[in-house]
Structure 1
Amino acid sequence: MRQTLARFLLLLLSFLALPALTVPATAQEVTTSHALILHGTPKYPADFKHFEYVNPDAPKGGEVIQAAIGTFDSLNPFILRGVSAAALGLTFDTLLQSSSDEAFTEYGLLAESIELPADRKWVAFTLRPEARFHDGKPVTAEDVVWSFETLKAKGAPFYRAYYADVLKAEALGERKVRFSFGDTVNMELPLIIGQMPVLPKHYFADKEFDRTSLEPITGSGPYKVASFEPGRTITYERVADYWAKDLPIMRGRYNYDRIRYDYYRDATVAIEAFKAGAYDFRLENSAKEWATAYDFPAQRQGLAVQREIPHELPTGMQGFAMNTRRAIFSDPRVRLAMNYAFDFEWSNKALFYGAYTRTESYFSNSELASRGLPEGEELKILEQFRGKIPDEVFTTEYKNPTTDGSGNNRANLRKALELLQSAGWQVKGGKLVNAAGEPFAFEILLSSPTFERIALPYAKNLERLGIEASVRTVDTAQYQNRIDGFDFDMTVDVWGQSLSPGNEQRDFWGSSRRDEQGSRNTAGIADPVIDQLIDMVIQAPDRDSLIARTRALDRVLLWGHYVVPHWHIRAFRTVYWDKFAQPDITPKYALGFSDTWWIDPAKAEKVNAFRRRSSN
């Protein structure tokens, strides 16, 4: 899917918080802590030894190889230009880091302590004196301030939206930095700032930050770039003297000596390479491949493992996203008609082996998803906007159109045609045209051939309505350029969600992001009601309010019909060569492969022996 900043940060949206560990020192009720939490109390106290879901004595060593699809031409993941290499986040540390068994908590990484007043109008971080970049230079408050100002001014558009309510950052000494938020009520701003990667100001003294570059940026994380071939492969090497390796939040983590990503043209080639032993681990996103592709000798002999690992993560929304900047998709009746034309039940049966559940919420698989009819606090919120939002929000539970799965969806197509006719479209000479005689024609833009088998039958259904929908798959770089510039009609997009939605919703649906190239507002939404609901989510004072406000936002988004919803699954589908070991406890909100698993030498030797025999 898309390779915007969301590819690096969206899977980091677990948020931090405020425990009461010291007596407030001033009339401002400033609390000093080792962690931040949005609502509630952190699971781990200040003197904890390690996270529960790690093996603190996990052995270090070995190399793991994974696959990436497409190409890369940049080692700067923080800017809009270029296609950055996979997993560059391994090389950069942040002020705080989330735990994977709590929904909203983060603990000090670069920061050894956090100060936060009761009104949450600012946050201050004191850096650890031992924090170092890979070149040995200390991480300073000046680096933090420079990183914030540079990311906001020259980084990808995501940062400007994410940090919009942060007024300023100032160094209060060599190791202390303070961020001020003014009078804005934005409960998660301290958490968001804690997620910020800290970059070395000295490294960029003679370089342009917003230029693509194939020179590795000096980081402070557990890995550094060891070698690469642009567009083909990149290898990360564990930093043996990593400054944070003995911190409680790092014990038992980042155990591989080397992590390598090899690039493949498409998923089909990558699967065959996996079965041939070219790499070690893959997440399988195709139900067809999951059901049919992995019956091969190593799997039958128990040397390769095919395994579903359940999780409790929100599954977000994936769907055919319509660009409402285009006139043909400006009418919600037309957008709803697009949903009636999609036969999910047939697709699930014929293409997906019955593996999926249809998505009916932007926050699916979580308590944040709207359900039934609005009531209680959620209803009170929505009543403020009665007359400005669809009446169905109050009267009808959102449900996608359904079919019997036979492939004969005439009833839904008739409904789709009625909606199109009510929006001013008519069938003439077998073609759907508007009052000016212009045909209803558009392109479905894809970045991978994988989705062609879904998009092509969908286009065939649209053809029965007199609509000409062409399907076009382009290379990764061209796709990214067109998406960033909103040069598309319909595409497949994914909006991942955390258990604590907030400021990132502005980038997804906010009016201010509609025309900002590179934003995640793919659908081109510009609705004052949605803007207000996003602000309410951001300002939610407690968990119950956050749930009610998020459900209200979800409901209004659904009834706007901005996407044709796809499907989801509540597990990671993993396939890997049996050379790994993992902790007894699996984290609720992460897979943990990159940072909590390790290589078992005895298992690895069996795998390597099999590979050697197979290659002879």
Structure 2
Amino acid sequence: MALARRIGASFLGLLLCSPALGVQAQEPEWRHALAVIEAPKYPKDFERFAYVNPDAPKAGNINLSASGTFDSFNPVLDKGELAAGLAPRLSLVTETLLKPSMDEVDAVYGLLAEAVSYPEDYAYARFRLRPEAKWADGVPVTPEDVIFSFDKFKELNPLYSTYYNHVVKAEKTGDREVTFTFDEKNNRELPVIVGELDIVPKHWWTAIGPDGKPRDISRTTLEPILGSGPYKIAAFTPGAKIQYELRDDYWGKDLNVNIGYNNFKSQTYTYFADLDVEFEAFRSGSVDFWAENSAMRWARSYDFPAVADGRVKRQVLDNEYKTSGVLVGFVPNMRREMFKDARVRKALNYAFDFEELNRTIFFDQYKRIDSYFYGSELASKGLPEGKELEILKGLGSDVAPEVLTQEYKNPVGGDGAKLRDNLRQALALLKEAGYELRNGKMVLAATGAPLQFEILLNGPTIERVAIPFADNLRKIGIQANVRTVDSAQYANRVRSFDYDVIYLGWAQSLNPGNEQRDYWGSKSVDQPGSRNYAGISDPGIDKLINQIIFAKDRDTLIPTVKALDRVLLASNYTLPTYTLRSSRIAYWDKFDHAELPTYGIGFPSIWWSKSP
């Protein structure tokens, strides 16, 4: 699915816990839960999720860290630096219509909405709000709030404009009912992704602020926002620290989907400009939890006394990766002329020596990525056959012939001889593309223009990967400059596609759907803020995306996704790097948790403090 744990398209119908009996077509049944692969495991009146502790104490404070800075509490916008704890779908302050279960692949249950209905052709989705749902000021959550939220997210945030492109309107259809109308029928994902929408209070955002001026949702703000969620912003230092306090009057604290959640009385985020300083704060006990992203640090930097005597715990967990695939790597921007030629993009891969990096700085902890859906059953393997081959052939000239006959393989390095062979392959590709070496520099033969570009990084973590890559490129005359910028500048440049090469990736659920249009659909190429980072515009890919969205069942979806994977790989839109299919976490032994859910760690939402 499209957004941070995605809920994908439905194939056997958005499954209900029990079948409908005698329901008229014009009166769709109300459903308390939606899912895609298996029917939701929890019945309508379930007491709680099985993985929580219903008796967890509501006590203590947890100290967390964040990198960079923040300058906004407005979750609607795709500009500014949103404070930690306010990201849509993960927010402590705002809430969504539906809430995911962490022990099911993709089931979601009513949160602000108590039920949802839709017709057989999925022409619309109707949500019925809970009568008890209230904002922190005591005002009920209304259909007008839902409509306002939808309109503003779609108007002001390019990501949601694309994501909700086929949701044409939201309107009030009852005292507690709001209906979303779709311009595509049989798009089974749309009712679910609408349920992901964070709801903000219309009456608050359209009122006069404490400065005597009307609030403006189109602008960033550091006024603590009003929400319906379990926490409120209690204190903050702009750009440096923010503290959330658990609300005693939270309307949903006894709701079945919330039992055992939100167990800390307060949560505090402290910001750090330097990652090493941030880690030292964890080592000293100023920060309680650390999610490790460096193989070297994981191998060498946990020799301090608190680890030795058990005051700091370390774990490697694969829970969060059981329902997802991923691609991470260097992404050339095809909006730049030099990267429009696939041979140039492919040549870059021959200069990346993963095996050497894995041996020297990664302690052999990582695996090389060879799929846009790496780690999932959706990843293509071998040569296409069966239905997958049939789908590819059905695209005719929109698919390059080699997609049908050649399996994607990354170059293999690891020693000097292999690297030299790979660089010779790169030189041959560049020659085919019209380049030649002149005085040690790779230039376009027709014009003499040098092949040079900038690798833009968000912080120093990937420098140890990018710099050896750039050194290898220089051996074949390509000048690649590695530039590290702060998170705010990086975000702004990525939003406006102002880069040559960046390093990032895409998460994939087991049920890809509408988000694929935002990742590599032609309409997203020129839309600022889209995640079409590579600048892909390809009619064959557009057709495959539509086939994925409207796949009638899972047996059709899987080979279609694999076909898309092959087409993306064959064009070398991204230089895939590496991944670890598990989470490395460390934390001070101040907390406890029940048996962790199958598909999540649940930190800190279902953990609790051992002492008040």
Task: Give the TM-score taking structure 1 as reference length.
Answer: 0.94
Aligned counterparts of 1:545 and 1:66: Cα–Cα separation in 2: 43
State the one-letter code of the partner of 1:68: A
Give the drift of 1:360.
Answer: 0.9
Structure 2 counterpart of 1:105: 107
State the one-letter code of the partner of 2:376: S
SS in 1 for 2:279: helix
Of 398-407 and 339-348, the range deviating more from structure 2: 398-407
Identify if the C-alpha distance between structure 1 residues 558 and 351 changes in structure 2 by more than 3 Å, giving closer, same or farther: same
2:37 aligned with 1:31, yes or no? no
SS in 1 for 2:30: strand
State the one-letter code of the partner of 1:228: F
Aligned counterparts of 1:229 and 1:342: Cα–Cα separation in 2: 42
Contact kept? 1:315, 1:497, Cα under 8 Å:
yes
Contact kept? 1:15, 1:106, Cα under 8 Å:
no
Contact kept? 2:522, 2:536, Cα under 8 Å:
yes
Structure 2 counterpart of 1:305: 313
Identify if the C-alpha distance between structure 1 residues 407 and 58 changes in structure 2 by more than 3 Å, giving closer, same or farther: farther
Contact kept? 2:116, 2:127, Cα under 8 Å:
yes
Which one of the candidate residues 370, 382, 407 is aligned to 1:360? 370
Identify if the C-alpha distance between structure 1 residues 193 and 237 changes in structure 2 by more than 3 Å, giving closer, same or farther: same
Contact kept? 1:333, 1:423, Cα under 8 Å:
yes
Which one of the candidate residues 4, 10, 35 is aligned to 2:4? 10
SS in 2 for 1:149: helix
Structure 2 counterpart of 1:526: 537
**Number of residue equivalences:** 593
Give the drift of 1:22.
Answer: 3.7
State the one-letter code of the partner of 2:159: F
Structure 2 counterpart of 1:549: 560
Q: Deviations over 1:302-330 (max 9, x none)?
A: 10012101221324111001101111111
Of 538-547 and 13-22, the range deviating more from structure 2: 13-22
Alignment of 1:148-227 (within 5 A): 148-154=150-156, 156-205=157-206, 206-227=214-235
Contact kept? 2:314, 2:585, Cα under 8 Å:
yes
Which one of the candidate residues 66, 78, 87 is aligned to 1:68? 66
State the one-letter code of the partner of 2:41: K
Aligned counterparts of 2:497 and 2:601: Cα–Cα separation in 1: 33
Give the drift of 1:104.
Answer: 1.9
SS in 2 for 1:457: helix
2:528 aligned with 1:517, yes or no? yes
2:502 aligned with 1:491, yes or no? yes
Alignment of 1:330-369 (within 5 A): 330-369=340-379
Alignment of 1:421-436 (within 5 A): 421-434=431-444, 435-436=446-447
Identify if the C-alpha distance between structure 1 residues 198 and 324 changes in structure 2 by more than 3 Å, giving closer, same or farther: same
Contact kept? 2:121, 2:185, Cα under 8 Å:
no
Q: Deviations over 1:34-69 (max 9, x none)?
A: 111234411111122111221122121111111111
Q: Percent of aligned positions with the same letter in both sequences?
A: 49
Structure 1 counterpart of 2:145: 143
Which one of the candidate residues 245, 261, 267 is aligned to 1:253? 261
Contact kept? 2:9, 2:512, Cα under 8 Å:
no
State the one-letter code of the partner of 2:150: F
Structure 1 counterpart of 2:396: 386
Aligned counterparts of 2:608 and 2:416: Cα–Cα separation in 1: 46
Give the drift of 1:129.
Answer: 0.3
Structure 2 counterpart of 1:612: none
- Any gaps of 5 or more consecutive residues in structure 1? 1-5, 605-616
Greater than 6 Å deviation, 4+ residue runs: none
Give the drift of 1:408.
Answer: 5.6
SS in 2 for 1:444: strand
Contact kept? 2:9, 2:187, Cα under 8 Å:
no
Give the drift of 1:23.
Answer: 2.2
Task: Give the TM-score taking structure 2 as reference length.
Answer: 0.94
SS in 1 for 2:470: helix
Contact kept? 2:398, 2:539, Cα under 8 Å:
no
SS in 2 for 1:259: strand
Q: Deviations over 1:248-292 (max 9, x none)?
A: 111111111111111111211111111011110010011111111
State the one-letter code of the partner of 1:599: S
Identify if the C-alpha distance between structure 1 residues 65 and 13 changes in structure 2 by more than 3 Å, giving closer, same or farther: farther
Q: Deviations over 1:338-369 (max 9, x none)?
A: 11110000011111110001111111111111
State the one-letter code of the partner of 1:360: D
Which one of the candidate residues 132, 135, 141 is aligned to 2:134? 132
SS in 2 for 1:594: coil
RMSD: 1.6
Structure 1 counterpart of 2:250: 242
SS in 2 for 1:151: helix
Give the drift of 1:544.
Answer: 2.1
Contact kept? 2:460, 2:484, Cα under 8 Å:
yes
Contact kept? 2:9, 2:188, Cα under 8 Å:
no
Contact kept? 1:152, 1:163, Cα under 8 Å:
yes
State the one-letter code of the partner of 2:609: I
Aligned counterparts of 1:153 and 1:406: Cα–Cα separation in 2: 53
State the one-letter code of the partner of 1:10: A
Contact kept? 1:116, 1:124, Cα under 8 Å:
yes
